[in-house]
Structure 1
Amino acid sequence: MANVRSEPGVGPVYAQWRSQLKPITTGRADTETVNDHLVSMAGVPMPEWWVARVTDSRALLAPLQGAQRKAWWLAAASVLLVGLLAVLSMLWVARPLTQLHRRAQAILLSQNPVDDSPSHGAESELLAGALDHLEAQQLHNGHQAEFSRMQLQGILEQAPVGIVITRNEVLELLSQQASLMLGYSRAELEGQSVRQLFADDAQYDELARQMREGAATRGGYEGEFALRRKDGSLLWARVVGRMALDRRSAMAAVWVLEDVTSARDERRKPMWANSHDLLTSLPNRAAFLERVRALLAHHAEVPDSGVALLHVDLDHFTLVNDRLGHEAGDLLLRQFATLLDELVRHVGWVARLGGDEFAVVLPNCTAARAELIAEHVRASLEEWEFAYGGESSTITVSIGIVVAPTGFDEVTPWLRAADMACYYAKRAGRNRIMVREIMDKAATV
């Protein structure tokens, strides 16, 4: 027999009992757990005899732990099954509303509606009926709108007068006749600003004023306005317009244009010839002097409102004239005048002083800004080539700049100072800009 102290599980329990002087009861077992062993001991009716049973607790508890794991798996599976059934029920209930939502989106986006009508529920059937009605109405409106567009297109193609439709100061539609009058294709103008059609800001501002007054009173306006064709020539048009607000609260207008250029030229020929250069159609020297006197008188009373004068002179014009002839020289002056007017039209105006000398007037302009504009003019003209008789020539200019400060109202010294600034630019090598100041309005420059 083995020593009791060397038996696994029994030895420690026996030692503990002996140390605590605990009796071992006869006929009843006491149980202790020691080092993963379950130990039961009981006395027998014999002196110093007792019975012990040692069992590995892990082996004893293994069946219980397995049963516990199975119970957890069964509980998780039950919860998952209940959740799946709940989701399927919700999908079954929501399916008609989802179908209605898809159909509504298709109608609003003008797509072909999805043909999957809901199959149950009085509310769903009612909504489906409403969507069907909306779809039919939208289809009808679409056909009506397409028919109206075709009618409008036919009118714009065949109308014997120019018709222009604008919305929020943007050209939206033009008739074929309006395109021919202006020299543009409809694609070139539609989507562009209304301001692009007008010869200058004064003409556009006058039309805008009449439009505001017409909208506030009878909704219409009428007048003669100077428009600008694509080739740069003037088109005098009688404009009859009506104002309206569309469904989006955008300000819309319909114009009927009539070309009155010839009639106006005949009516105003003596007056126009007295104030314009016949070769270039620009204001002549007399008109320039009259206009700048009024301009300087106005700015003399307005603080911080200088007026810039650019004296522009073609470089080596006589060489072109002598080499290619006077007809070429006249054509050069006409083309140059048109290009110069286009370059500064949005900030000022141009006049021909005589020969190859031109003046550019820039109201409300500082010396720094005038220099930037002059450089833009110089660089643009340098890139331009004049072609005549199979030959091409690069044209450059010299520019003198003088700014009339607030309170200055004498034209002659101002013009002389600009002329001298241009002279110094030529002496410095041509194709350049020279800025000069007026030190004393009474001084000789």
Structure 2
Amino acid sequence: MDIVIMVGQLILGLSILVILHEFGHFIAARAFGIKVEKFYLFFDAWNFSLFKFNYKGVEYGMGWLPLGGYVKIAGMIDESMDTEQMAGPPQPWEFRSKPAWQRLIVMLGGIFVNIVLGILIFWVLTIKYGETYIPNESLKYGIVPGSIGKGIGLKAGDKVVALNGQKVDRFEDLVSSKVLMGNSVLTVERNNQTLNIKVPGNILNDVSDLGIEQFISRMPRTTFRVDSVVAGSNAQKAGLKPGDSVLAVNGTPVRFYDEFQAQLMQYKNKPVGLTVKRNEATLPLTAQVNKDGMLGFKDGRFGIRVKTDLPEEKTLKFGFFGSLPVGASKAWGTFSDNAKGLGKVFTGQVKANKALSSPIGIARLFGSQVDWLRFWSLVGLLSMALALMNLLPIPALDGGHALFLIIEMIKGKPLSDKFLERAQMVGFVILITLMVFVFGNDIFKIIKK
């Protein structure tokens, strides 16, 4: 059922994006009197479609190959490679008969709609939910770095007070693109000292492999006590009860929850001695740690729930119009971050297999539970990413068509049909190669895990 929910959310999200992207091309073409012959969600490779119908001279349908979608515009060399139509004389209702500036608008129509959609989604989410964050100054005990964070010099309990010389107001900024794009400097307070720690430019490679929690945990450092114990778990068998405070594990003092977790991870599948404070008494208990480093069950389920003293979150609310610049800023930030990420791939700072994902990887982001805030946030992110990808000057993508049209406008005459046909084939090979690479990469990651 988990896989069904993941795949279902993926199909729904991508279908919304593809249909609206293609609608951008469709409506622009119709506005200039250009005939549109087909409007398809997914590709009807070898003319096989799951269903189709005709309405006002346009064939609408769903193909069987879920690698996007397309509109077939008369008089245009596109994915269909319909060279027969191009052999005849240009017709007034064909794409090739229109001025270059009109054709350029048609080509950019899908990208424009994706950008508008991304802004709209983030605008509506801001209206409904506002912005919730943890004030950085309210962290009592600092941060909890993972192996990546420790590798660059961070330590548990550090308080990060500035990023590139600017005060950090939100704890969440420490795991944002401002930091993860690398070449940034964290100003840290540690034991009454102030240190500057540089984040390397290729840190995304490690984050891709190990996860964001291994850089800086999204849970600040906190004290803890047992809130509830799951029946039948190793914690219950050991005698732990709600209200208990664990003072030590095998004689090693633990004050914070991350220290407790770190100690248990050292004794997987082994018994440990716990020093527990209950009311005013101190008790010795023995507990069995499972394979996941928890006092739970053999199948990995948790055995206890803890009560922490995490800082309270703060929520900012905006009005209807006040939410628009906030949402637009989030959308543009997503677009900008993706552009910077691609730049790092092209310059070799980040490996392509660490930065690019196929629909398999995207499905895992949606998760196995329906969370509409998460769903629409991801659709907004993907809409901006789709806009950027289609802007790339690769033949067969909108950006490639736009590039050729700009060249035509500069030269004063169109490029030859033969050149456009060959460029389309080259672009198609590039895209297929890229698709095979990202699918293979995600499958390899699953097998490796």
Provide the TM-score with structure 1 as the length reference: 0.18
- Structure with bigger gyration radius: 1
The higher-RCO structure (CA 8 Å, 6+ apart) is: 2
Provide the TM-score with structure 2 as the length reference: 0.18
